[in-house]
Chains A and B, each alone.
Chain A
Amino acid sequence: MKFTLSWLKDHLATDATLDEIIEALTMIGLEVEEVDDRTQYQPFTIAKVVSAEQHPDADRLRVLKVDRGDGKLVQVVCGAPNARTGLIGAFAGPGTYIPGIDVTLSVGNIRGVESHGMMCSERELNMSDEHDGIIDLDEDAPVGTSFAQYAGLNDPVIEIGITPNRPDALGVAGIARDLEAYGIGKVKPLSVNQPNAEFACPVDVKLEFDGESLCPAFGLRYVKGVKNQSSPKWMQQRLLAIGLRPISALVDITNYVTFDLGRPLHVFDADKVAGDLVVRRARSGEQVTALDGKTYKLNPENCVISDDDGVESLAGVIGGEASGCSDDTVNVLVESALWEPLNIARTGRDLSIITDARYRFERGVDPLFMQPGLDHATDLVIKLCGGTASEAVIAGSIPASQFTVDFPVSEVKRLTGIDISASQITDILNRLGFDNDGAGDIVNVKVPSWRPDVEGKADLVEEVMRIHGVNNIDPLPLPSLDSVGKKILTTGQLRVQRAQRSLASRGMLEAVTWSFISRNQAEHFGGGSNQLALANPISADMSDMRPSLLPNLMAAAGRNADRGNSDVALFEVGGIFQNDEPSGQKRCAAGIRRGTAGLVGAGRNWQFNAGSVGVFDAKADALAVLEACGMDGSKVQIISGGPDWYHPGRSGTIQLGPKLILATFGEIHPLTLEAMDVNGPMCGFEVWLDSIPEPRKKATRTKPPLEISSLQAVHRDFSFVIDQDIQAASLVRTISGSDKKLIRNVQIFDLFEGASLGAGKKSIAVEVTLQPVNKTLTDEEIDSVSARIIHNVEKSTGGTLRR
């Protein structure tokens, strides 16, 4: 909502400065978004062209001698076709910033002739689009004085943001009312001239609705014998200042009243209206070509004003082109009506039409001002365009009942802490137009017709608060809870934090990527169901909720590689989506490593060059997350293979039984890399943080006692040749099971695969640690355990001791 300072002062008698007004507006909830004090127009002077001669070297240019009022002539080269001797216009000297072309003038030399300034067009001054010639003022324009003052360009423009609850502030008069209540100035009451009704309105209005009416009331006056011309300069200047283009007096009046009083209007060319007006729902398939030149297809959800020829106007949103006013208009119909706000909002939204009328009607106009608005507009038409008015036709009825609230004044203190008297409270309300009955603890407050937003006690508290001043409320500490702070994070929240910190401490960089990915990617990673596809995605590659964190991380690795950073280790901890229920969103930690970005660092180094990342890098990352989240890594099962996007022979699944999968890891499948359009080598993992079992609640924080044996542990190495498909884990399990009491640890320290072992064979070397319990082991006891180990390995894996 824009207006100028002088416009505001039409409605408010005040000596307050611009700064005081701006501060006050913001503090009462009408936030000032921008102020244009228009100092940029100060340098422009009214000047007269004393002579205009043909440029010696350019057909289209003239050399002007310009008088700025001081008698000294300035030479200006000008290309405007209307530059002529005697013209009075707006002059800008060197050093002046020309806003319309974003140029600061300097002394120029145009084809050999010096130019010491310019005579400006309206477009160059941002006054309008007019650029056919330079500004051509009346003969009596005072040469040598400020052009800005003459043209009304010195009037500061204020733009405020209006929250959706304040339709009353969508007119300058309403803003003045709020300022007065706050203590800035005195409102100048609007006196509406009742036009002389000289004849009965020849056009009748019918409201035709089956069931719910979309038009509570509709007012109409006929004005005959008007002359549509330009609106007066002051009106044009104000409209220009707030960014509206003056068109003609009839159109400008409707725009002006919309912004002046918050009352949208429509004016029909009466001679283009056939028969009476019928307000009704549109019929399916009906069309209207609106004033914006576009044709809209309508349906019964839209409310229209029609005549014998069909739809003439889209009610409350935009007028029709066919019955619009032109320079030749002689007779007009002035409309002022009430519309159903939700219907206006829906029509505007469905048809994508944004107009000042829709903006006001969907927020709610003052119903009691419908008829005064009609009279005021009619009066303005007669004043500016002449003509005589008919009686008003009012169809429907203006809602009469006034909304009241029983207001315990103690609510102000209860909700805001503001401690003021009941009379101070009612005084503030009265100044805003809320009348009250009775005094005492509970007063009956009548809500004014222009405040559709006020529906209860809390709204009245807000009114009192904003006028009393929010900054007059002293902060009050929140009562302290009577204990030391307790643990406040849930297990899930702590897991997120620990996963993040542990992965970052493994040299990975934390990314936060979009929750959406393309449909193809979603399908590739096990998602892509319809319920997780957006109906209005921002782009095709952000269309589906991600079923996995990996695709975005892989794509990010690709982008980084394109920028020359091919070794990246990225992770993300965030939500993935299995379905659209709250339980379908899972906390997940995932990461990828690309190139040589392993745990110890990437790339070349004089000590050692990092090798390509692989499945064991991803496995270590996944286990690190699980351990950080409280999962004992020795308690999990690790089995071969994982989802399709991993290398089938170089991937694994970490689980607690087949139904409780905690994580997957592996090298990325070449076809997945291809689908994602990235290059390997790349490995990745995903951990489902919610799947990790809750830790058991412990009664005490005491750790179990430390048991240290005084007896020396014994270490023995074995090397077994086994079949390639025997897993290391089963070998270790077999060895450990050979003597559960004595064998404390089995450590694999070598893996050898070579032709010398025979086809399909590998050799695994282990160090077995035996921890005696009661007494030192004898050689016989050690030999017996060793024999058992060898025997068990032979029996369960077919492996043999390598000699």
Chain B
Amino acid sequence: MSDIETLEKEILASIENAGDEAVLENIRVASLGKKGSISAKMKTLGQMTPEQRKQAGPALNGLKTRITEEIASRKIVLGHAAIAERLKSEAVDVTLPTRTSPALAGRIHPITQVKDEITAIFADMGFSVAEGPEIETDYYNFTALNFPEGHPAREMHDTFFFNEKEDGTTRLLRTHTSPVQIRTMEVQEPPIRIVIPGKTYRCDSDATHSPMFHQLEGLVIDKTTNIANLKWVLEEFCKTFFEVDQLGMRFRPSFFPFTEPSLELDIQCERSGNEVRFGEGDDWMEILGCGMVHPNVLRGSRLDPDIYQGFAWGIGIDRLAMLKYGMPDLRAFFDADIRWLSHYGFRPLDLPTLFGGLSA
């Protein structure tokens, strides 16, 4: 075996045994560096005869190339091994928890969510959303709505009053959203299709009554709309809102000063505990009052009741929320207990739409 072969074997063996890149670098320097073993052999070429050189030159160059390549490929292997080693040491326990995204932790109040659901439904039927002040005058809350002065129907409203003003008038907290009917008819020419969600107040407090609650008023005024249309709108609304295909409904004659004829709507349901199932059962639950706008109300808004006609309804938003989502106690709606809000509230990105399903 020639010197060169011996040297190659030695170097290749040391490359093979090199455990890390630093050792490999030492081998490179020891073999290919200026003072390396291969370099030393190369220097001997000068002292050789041409014949010797002819033979040893290529052999040495071949050795140099092979060792260079071998070191390079070994370097890649060692480099990968080093990375693998490092990554191994960097391993973590991925079962450790992350913090909850704020967008998942936050909640929309059920009243807001239900209001948005209602808006989505009525927008589809061509309604706009109207609003009005919560502090009202006697005129808008009662007189313009055909509540005669001193009539028992006024008393049934348990009104919150403010202290009498210097001019002798007394403001009150609206007892229903109906004043906005008047305020709308005063400024908007028919046809009118509006819904009016808002806060209403009555001085009454127990498990099902709260001094503040939320109502949704609806008003349609044109030259043809009648009870048959009213039935259609409310039936469509109820089915869509409760997300059922069929819903037993029963309209009953009733009385409200500002509608004539007046009706109440009951829906068929099955109650067990907090859960209410619609479209089945033999219980009837009253959910809203409605009727044709009273001629006196139209006249008061300077609309001729022989030309214009239409209907109105009022429904409790809180009650709708309780029926659909099963909250047992109205008072808890206003207590801001974070356990209740987190449980009954809705995620902020779940904006109700008809195309995506109201509560899908």
The answer to whether B338 and A570 touch across the interface, beta carbons within 8 angstroms, is yes
Instruction: Kindly list chain A residues whose C-beta atoms are within 8 Å of the C-beta of B165.
Output: 531, 580
A485/B123 contact (C-beta < 8 A), A475-B231, A507-B106 known: yes
Flag if B253 contacts A346 (CB, 8 Å): no
Which residue on chain B has the smallest CB distance to residue A28? B253
Of the candidates B109, B203, B220, B227, the one whose C-beta lies within 8 Å of that of A473 is B227
- B 171-202 binary contact with A (CB < 8 Å = 1; else 0): 10100000000000000000001000001010
The answer to the question of B268 belonging to the interface, with a C-beta cut-off of 8 Å to chain A, is: no
B309 engages A509 (CB within 8 Å): no
Q: Is the CB of B254 within 8 A of A568?
A: no
Q: How far is the CA of A94 from the CA of B112 in the complex (A)?
A: 54
Contacts of A415 in B (CB 8 A): 226-227, 261, 292, 309
Q: How far is the CA of A414 from the CA of B127 in the complex (A)?
A: 22
C-alpha spacing A569/B107, complex, angstroms: 10
- Which of the listed residues B96, B135, B235, B251 has the most CB atoms from chain A within 10 Å of its own CB? B135
Question: Given that A345-B155, A488-B128 are known contacts, is A600 also in contact with B337, CB under 8 Å in the complex?
Answer: no
Q: Are B107 and A509 in contact (CB under 8 A)?
A: yes
In chain A, positions 373-417 with a C-beta closer than 8 Å to chain B are: 413-417
Q: Please, which residues of chain B bring their CB within 8 A of the CB of A542?
A: 211
Pairwise interchain contact A504-B108, C-beta atoms closer than 8 A: yes
Interface assignment of B75: CB less than 8 Å from any CB of chain A: no
- C-alpha spacing A398/B102, complex, angstroms: 74
- A535–B160 CA distance with the chains assembled, in angstroms: 7
Contact A532 B162 (CB under 8 A): yes
Write the nearest CB–CB distance from A264 to chain B, whole angstroms.
15
The minimal Cβ–Cβ distance linking B338 to chain A, given in whole angstroms, is: 5
Q: Is the CB of A163 within 8 A of B228?
A: no
Interface string of B231-265 (1 = CB under 8 A from A): 11101000000000000001111110000111110
The reply to whether B112 and A475 form a contact with Cβ atoms under 8 Å apart is no
Residues from chain B with Cβ under 8 Å of A511 in the complex: 109, 336, 341
Cβ of A446 within 8 Å of any chain B Cβ, yes or no, is no
Q: Which of B97, B98, B128, B261 contacts A458 (CB 8 A)?
A: B261
* Set of chain A residues within 8 Å of B160, measured between Cβ atoms: 534, 536-538
Stretch binding the partner chain, chosen from A309-317, A426-434, A460-468, A676-684: A460-468
B11 to chain A, nearest CB (A): 47
B134 x A585 contact (CB < 8 A): yes
**Interface readout for B32-51 with A: 1 if CB under 8 Å, 0 if not?**
00000000000000000000
Check A165 for interface membership: any CB of B closer than 8 A. yes
> B252 touches which one: A26, A531, A577 (CB < 8 A)?
A26
Q: Across the interface, do B252 and A461 meet the contact criterion of CB distance under 8 Å?
A: no
B132 beta carbon closer than 8 Å to chain A: yes
**Pair B261/A509 contact, Cβ less than 8 Å:** no
**Does A145 have its Cβ within 8 Å of any Cβ on chain B?**
no
- List A residues 513-532 near B (Cβ within 8 Å): 513-516, 530-532
Could you tell me the distance in whole angstroms from the C-beta of B218 to the nearest C-beta in chain A? 11
Give the docked Cα–Cα distance between A413 and B193 (Å): 21
Chain A residues within an 8 Å CB radius of B135: 532, 545, 577, 580-582, 584-585
Tell whether A471 pairs with B251 under 8 Å between CB atoms, given A416-B227, A462-B260.
Answer: yes
* A478 touches B (CB below 8 Å): yes
- The stretch that binds A, out of B19-27, B66-74, B81-89, B144-152, is B144-152
Contact of A164 among B124, B153, B220, B261 (CB under 8 A): B153
Docked pose: A751 CA to B157 CA in angstroms: 60
Nearest-CB distance from B234 to chain A (Å)? 9
Query: Which residue of A458, A570, A581 is within 8 Å of B292 (Cβ)?
Result: A458
Complexed CA–CA distance, A475 and B234 (Å): 9
Q: How far is the CA of A28 from the CA of B254 in the complex (A)?
A: 9
Contact A515 B336 (CB under 8 A): no
Which residue of chain A lies nearest to B265 when distances are taken between CB atoms in the complex? A470
Q: In the complex, are the beta carbons of A478 and B220 less than 8 A apart? A: yes
Answer whether residue A459 sits at the interface, using C-beta atoms and an 8 A cutoff. Answer: yes
**A414 CB contacts on chain B under 8 angstroms:** 226, 309
Contacts of A563 on B, CB cut-off 8 Å? 337, 339
Judged by a CB distance under 8 angstroms, whether B126 is at the interface is yes
Could you say which residues of chain B place their CB within 8 Å of the CB of A55?
A: none
A535 in contact with B150 (CB, 8 Å): no
Answer whether A512 and B252 are a contact pair too, CB < 8 Å, given A345-B151, A458-B261, A493-B131.
no
The closest CB in chain A to the CB of B226 belongs to A417
Binary per-residue interface labels of chain B (116-158) against chain A in the complex, 1 for a CB within 8 Å, 0 otherwise: 1001000111111101111100000000000011111101100
Looking across the interface, which residue of chain A has its beta carbon closest to that of B231? A475
Residues 36 to 83 of chain A near chain B (Cβ within 8 Å)? none
The answer to whether A465 and B102 touch across the interface, beta carbons within 8 angstroms, is no
Contacts of A552 in B (CB 8 A): 336
Q: Would you call B333 and A474 a contact (CB within 8 A)?
A: no
Q: Closest residue to A508 on the B side, CB-wise?
A: B106
Is the CB of B163 closer than 8 A to any CB of chain A? yes
The reply to whether B100 and A515 contact each other, CB–CB distance below 8 Å, is no
CB distance A345 to B348 under 8 Å?
no
User: B253 touching A466 by the CB < 8 A rule?
Assistant: yes
> Inside 8 A of A530's CB, which chain B residues have their CB?
163
Residues on B with beta carbons closer than 8 Å to the beta carbon of A569: 106
Flag if A531 contacts B171 (CB, 8 Å).
yes
Complex: A228 Cα to B109 Cα, angstroms = 64
Q: Are B163 and A493 in contact (CB under 8 A)?
A: no
| B260 contacts A538, C-beta separation under 8 Å | no
B325-345 CB contact bits vs A (8 Å, 1 = yes)?
000000001111111011001
Contacting pair B227 A556 (CB below 8 A)? no
State the Cβ distance, B311 to closest chain A Cβ, in Å. 9
Q: Which residues of the other chain, A, contact B164 by a CB distance below 8 angstroms?
A: 535
Nearest CB in chain B: distance from A419 CB, A: 10
CA of A661 to CA of B335, assembled, Å: 30
- Mark B264-297 against chain A: 1 for CB-CB distance below 8 A, else 0: 1000000000000000000000000000101100
Q: Are A481 and B126 in contact (CB under 8 A)?
A: yes
**Is residue A17 contacting chain B, with contact meaning CB distance below 8 A?**
no
By the criterion CB–CB under 8 Å, are A534 and B161 in contact? yes
Question: Contact between A568 and B338 (Cβ–Cβ < 8 Å)?
Answer: yes
Q: How far does the alpha carbon of A589 sit from the alpha carbon of B105 in the complex, in Å? A: 19
- Asked if B99 lies at the interface with its beta carbon under 8 angstroms from chain A, I say yes
Most interface-central of A416, A502, A511 (chain B CB within 10 A): A511
Query: In angstroms, how far is the closest chain B Cβ from the Cβ of A483?
Result: 9
C-alpha gap A619/B19 in the complex (Å): 58
Interface residues of A in 158-201 (CB under 8 A from B): 163-166
Given contacts A415-B292, A462-B261, contact A515 B107 (CB under 8 A): no
Taken residue by residue from 470 to 496, chain A's Cβ proximity to chain B (1 for < 8 Å, 0 otherwise) reads as 110111111111000100111011000
Q: How many Å lie between the Cα of A100 and that of B261 in the bound state?
A: 43
CB distance from A798 to the nearest CB of B (A): 41
Task: Name the A residues within 8 Å of B123 (CB-CB).
Answer: 485, 488
Q: Does A702 contact B (CB under 8 A)?
A: no
Query: Which A residue's beta carbon lies closest to that of B103?
Result: A505
Given the complex of chains A and B, what is the CA–CA distance between A534 and B348 in angstroms? Answer: 35
Q: B residues near A, CB below 8 A?
A: 96-100, 102-103, 105-109, 111-112, 116, 119, 123-129, 131-135, 148-153, 155-156, 160-165, 170-171, 173, 193, 199, 201, 203, 205, 211-212, 220, 224-229, 231-233, 235, 250-255, 260-264, 292, 294-295, 305, 309, 333-339, 341-342, 345, 347-349, 351
Interface residues of A (CB under 8 A from B): 26-29, 31, 163-166, 342, 345-346, 349, 362-363, 413-418, 456-459, 461-462, 465-466, 470-471, 473-481, 485, 488-490, 492-493, 497, 500-516, 530-538, 542, 545, 552-553, 556, 559-560, 563, 565, 568-570, 573-575, 577, 580-582, 584-585, 599-601, 605-607
Name 19 extra pairs, CB < 8 A, besides A515-B173, A560-B337: A416-B226, A458-B295, A471-B250, A475-B235, A485-B126, A493-B129, A505-B102, A509-B342, A510-B108, A510-B112, A531-B165, A534-B162, A537-B160, A538-B160, A545-B135, A575-B199, A580-B135, A580-B165, A584-B135
Closest 3 A/B residue pairs (Cβ) = A417-B228, A507-B102, A29-B253
Q: List 14 A-B contacts (CB under 8 A).
A: A163-B262, A345-B152, A461-B261, A470-B252, A474-B228, A481-B126, A485-B124, A504-B347, A510-B109, A510-B345, A531-B165, A533-B162, A538-B205, A605-B99
